[in-house]
Chains A and B, each alone.
Chain A
Amino acid sequence: AQSVTQLGSHVSVSEGALVLLRCNYSSSVPPYLFWYVQYPNQGLQLLLKYTTGATLVKGINGFEAEFKKSETSFHLTKPSAHMSDAAEYFCAVSSGYSTLTFGKGTMLLVSP
């Protein structure tokens, strides 16, 4: 069985500040990890994913995430928040085949 916990349903940052969205996972098999973003009235869009290899993964829009097996974490970061980053972010885990198990999501709020 696999599960994802996203700490904080809402995270508020100022424009230009560091963004840190937390994700911890549980998996009985080697996990494949994903971050998706959902803008208002739009579908989920893949930001980045970890499958194998380098544990620091770079995605679109300046986001990156680091897979830390010892901490069972896959936190999402961005050095400098932009107003356009305001959205809901979902972390997900998979065994690698078809099924994605999502967290409950974190709403990122960016203030001027």
Chain B
Amino acid sequence: DAMVIQNPRYQVTQFGKPVTLSCSQTLNHNVMYWYQQKSSQAPKLLFHYYDKDFNNEADTPDNFQSRRPNTSFCFLDIRSPGLGDTAMYLCATSRDASLIQETQYFGPGTRLLVL
């Protein structure tokens, strides 16, 4: 049974056209994360929510926003996608933010292509 679900799996958008990626989880975890993984590069954390508390990484561009309307769902909004935003976007969850005790569970990712 899928525990972290991402929709859509593939998304094509035009330069500058806003796009929203969706993540949902059935684990009832407190923490949800968004990572960006460009081709042949390491996944890079964009931000995470601990419950409703939003934590942005210092180098995440302002173009990237996130919403978490409830425990189960988290959205990644890209306000004006550029060609450089073409990447795989990974959602992950964990019960708590401590990675000593807990594990991050990843979804299958959304592959975004900006034309």
Contact = CB atoms under 8 A, between A and B. Distances in A.
B70 interface: no
Given A90-B42, A102-B43, A41 B100 contact: no
B34 interface: no
B43 A44 contact: yes
Interface residues on B, range: 20 to 34
B98 A96 contact: yes
Contacts of A43: 4, 90, 92, 105-109
Interface residues of A, number: 26
Given A32-B99, A96-B99, A4 B42 contact: yes
A46 B97 CA distance: 16
A102 B90 CA distance: 13
Contacts of B105: 43
B22 interface: no
B104 A100 contact: yes
Interface of B: 4, 9, 31, 33, 40-45, 48, 50, 55, 57, 90, 92, 97-100, 103-109
